[in-house]
Structures are given as C-alpha cells and as structure tokens.
Amino acid sequence: MLSKKQARAFFLGGTLVTFLIFIGLTVYSLSEGQDQSNEENLTAKVVRGKEIWESNNCMGCHTILGEGAYYAPELTKVVDRLNLKYDGNGEEVIKSILMSEGPWQPNGRKMVAYNMTEAEATDVVEFFKWIGKIDLNGFGEVVGVDRKISPLSKSNNNN
C-alpha cells in the first residue's frame, strides 16, 4: 500500500516533471521559427490598436481569437466579414462605429459610443487586420466568411 512518503514523492516529482515539460513546450512554441502570428507585420499602429482595444475593455462584450465575453460578435475576422456584407467597405463601417458620437445600437444590442478620432479608429482597424491574418489552427475558418461546415455533418458538406 502506498505510504505517505511515496505519495509526497508522486506529488513533487509529477509536478516538477510536468512543469519542466511545460516550460520546454512554451519556449519551443514561442521560438521564432514557430511563429504563426505574422509577427513581422506587428506595426506601431497595430500595437496602438491593441492598447485602445484593452483600455476600453472591448473583451468585456466581444471575443477575439475566441476569448472575451459572449455578448457581442466575435471580431477575429471582422474586417473580412463586413467587407463581404458592405461591398468592400468593411473598414469604413468599423471606423464609423468606433467614431460614433451618439449612442449606438447595432442589431438591437447597445454598444458604448466611443467617439474615437479617425487616427484611433484606424489603429483599431489595423489591429483587427493583423489579428485576421493569424494562423489559428482551423478556428479562423470556423468564424471566418468561408465557414467550414462541421466535418461530422455530411449533408452540409455535400452542398
């Protein structure tokens, strides 16, 4: 029967081993050759866009890369999606939403009126464009305009 000493060894040993593997995998997946995020296109505008995104807690309603709250649309592929919907004017539509002075109620749910400047709104759009080009291991297709229908759903695949 397991003794207390053995149980402790299992706990400490298991923790140490898995943690070391975790660190190793972290270093590997963040190493330069493994980049999937088009980091070379991370311009000053994109970084400013991210700061605006964070300082207004956009994640408190929206999701991006599937992360955030679930009250407002997923924005990973928002530029593509609105381009399709508004004949290539997606970027302009996003900017007009962000620059709106009055209360804004897109599709029946209220969004805070942020009253951004044109430059700020452009930065946020640049951020969205950068996000939209990240290789998300298949998730991009699920939330993008060219939605992949479930492989389990045969009838939909035949359409």
Partner 1 sequence: MKYKSQKVAYWFFALSMLLLVLQITYGFIMGFARIGFDNLHEFIPFNTARAVHTNLLVVWLLSGFMGAAYYIIPEESQRELVNVKLAYVQLISLALVGVAAVVGYHFNIWEGRKFLEIPRGLDYLVVVNVLLFLGLILLTLFKGKRQTTTSLVLSMGLLFAALLYLPGMLPFDSQVTDSFFRWWVVHLWVEGVWELIMGGILSFLLIKLTGVDREVIEKWLYVIVGLTFLSGVLGTGHHYYYIGVNKIWLIVGGIFSALEPLAFLAMALFAVNMYRKGEKKHPNKLALYWTLGAAIVSFVGAGLLGFAHTLPQTNLYTHGTLVTAMHGHLAFWGAYAMIVLAIISYALPNMTGRKLYESTRGRMAYWLSNIGMIGMTVAFGVAGVAQVYLERKFGMEFMQVQKEIEIHFVVLVLCASIFTTGIVLYIIDFYKHGTPTDEALELKE
Q: Which residues bind partner 1 (CB under 8 A)?
A: 2-4, 7-8, 10-11, 14-15, 18-19, 21-22, 25-26, 28-30, 34, 36-37, 39, 42, 46-47, 50, 53-61, 63-74, 106-110, 112, 127, 131, 134-139, 142-143, 147, 149-150, 153, 156
Q: Shortest gap between Cβ of 94 and partner 1 (angstroms)?
A: 15
What single letter denotes the amino acid at residue 153?
A: S
Q: Shortest gap between Cβ of 147 and partner 1 (angstroms)?
A: 5
Task: With both helix axes pointing from N to C terminus, report the angle between 44-55 and 118-132 in degrees, rounded to the nearest 10.
Answer: 100
Provide the CB-side half-sphere exposure for 75 (13 A, CA): 26
- Complex with partner 1: residue 93 or 142, whichever CB lies closer: 142
SS3 of residue 41 by DSSP: helix
Tracing tokens 């593509």 back to the chain, one arrives at: 80
Q: Shortest gap between Cβ of 103 and partner 1 (angstroms)?
A: 8
Paired tokens of 141: 């297709």
- Complex with partner 1: residue 53 or 98, whichever CB lies closer: 53
Q: Shortest gap between Cβ of 63 and partner 1 (angstroms)?
A: 4
What single DSSP character describes residue 72?
Answer: S
- Complex with partner 1: residue 54 or 118, whichever CB lies closer: 54
Q: How many other CB atoms are there within 10 angstroms of residue 128's CB atom?
A: 23
